[in-house]
Amino acid sequence: MSTSRIAVVIGGASGIGWATAKALAAEGCTVTIADLNTEGAQARAKELGDQHNAVTVDVTDEASVQQLFEQIGRVDVVVNCAGFGGVGLITELPADQFRAVIDTCLVGAFLVIKHAGQHLGEGGALVSLTSLNARQPAVGMSAYCSAKAGLAMLTEVAALELGPRGIRVNAVSPGFVHTPLTEPVLSVPGVLEEYVENTALGRAGTPEDIADAVVFLCSSKASWITGEVLDLNGGAHMMRYPNVIKHVMNLAGQ
């Protein structure tokens, strides 16, 4: 990767985004960490060094996303890690909670691709974070599964639309990765064990497992790859997803 590349990592203050920001900086990119968490983004940018920056952004707010890309100007690499989930059975889930997940994980991803797509040029690369749940349904995760499946298809449409301008659009689909997002779920007895049993490689992922693949997809070594939704899960996509709700109910004694 050339030393002059300008990268933005949205959701870069935590977990997979932070690991990706560090990995891109190590490859010589100048990185902007953009996140809803202003203090977190500033602290992370400081940790990376003087040439790196922090910007506050809310991917659910189009004006905020537009302003982010106008402020950065030329950009070569965009990685969107903003996202969250939640659990609840469909028959009990408030519609507002369903909408909130769709708003961040799918509409937010659309807004990032829309505005990044106006600033990326020939040789540019965009990677979104979808999920194993884009292809594997999970009891109690209707909103997240729907949003991430939508994002997988959005990635393919965007790759078709931006390809003629030399811009590559890909996504990665992690299984369970240890981050602040998954800590509450992975600490429920039985969840991690059931995930690991349903992998070929016998472990959950690390943020670095994902960052390595994202850096590859953003690099010139991936110059013929676009519209790809890459499974990163230790082989879990060949088996079945844990029943998270069952383990939560067991914990609650129900």
Site for ligand NAI, residues 50 to 109, rule: CB under 6 A: 57-60, 81-84, 104, 108
Among the listed residues 22, 46, 148, 246, the single catalytic one is 148
Among 102, 181, 225, 239, binds ligand NAI (CB under 6 A): 181
- As measured in angstroms, the least distance from the Cβ of 36 to ligand NAI is 4
Structure tokens at 42: 């500033």
Nearer to ligand NAI, 84 or 250 (CB): 84
For the record, the structure tokens of 119 come out as 């600033």
Q: Which of 9, 24, 35, 168 binds ligand NAI (CB under 6 A)?
A: 35
75-80 and 53-56: which strand pairing?
A: unpaired
Q: Is position 177 an interface residue for ligand NAI (rule: CB under 6 A)?
A: yes
195 is catalytic: no
Query: Is residue 148 annotated as a catalytic residue, yes or no?
Result: yes
Residue 81 or residue 145: which is nearer to ligand NAI going by CB?
81
Number of shown-chain residues binding ligand NAI (CB under 6 A) = 30
Q: Is 242 in the site for ligand NAI (CB under 6 A)?
A: no
Q: What is the bridge-based pairing of β-strands 6-10 and 229-232? A: unpaired
CB 27 to ligand NAI: min, Å: 19
**Nearest-approach distance from CB 83 to ligand NAI, in angstroms:** 2
What is each CA distance from 159 to 1, 29, 146, 204, in whole angstroms?
Answer: 21, 23, 20, 29
Quote the least distance from Cβ 184 to ligand NAI, whole Å.
11
Rg (Cα) of the chain, in Å, rounded? 18
Cα torsion 107, 114, 11, 138: sign: positive
Q: CB under 8 Å to 207, separation ≥6 — which residues?
A: 15, 16, 18, 19, 20, 177, 178, 179
| Structure-token pair, residue 182 | 């998954």
Question: What tokens does 131 get?
Answer: 């999920």
What is the C-alpha to C-alpha distance for residues 2 and 78, in angstroms, rounded to an integer? 15
Q: Which of 37, 53, 66, 67 binds ligand NAI (CB under 6 A)?
A: 37
Binding residues vs ligand NAI (CB under 6 A): 10-11, 13-17, 35-37, 40, 57-60, 81-84, 104, 108, 129, 131, 174, 176-177, 179-182
User: Catalytic site residues?
Assistant: 144, 148
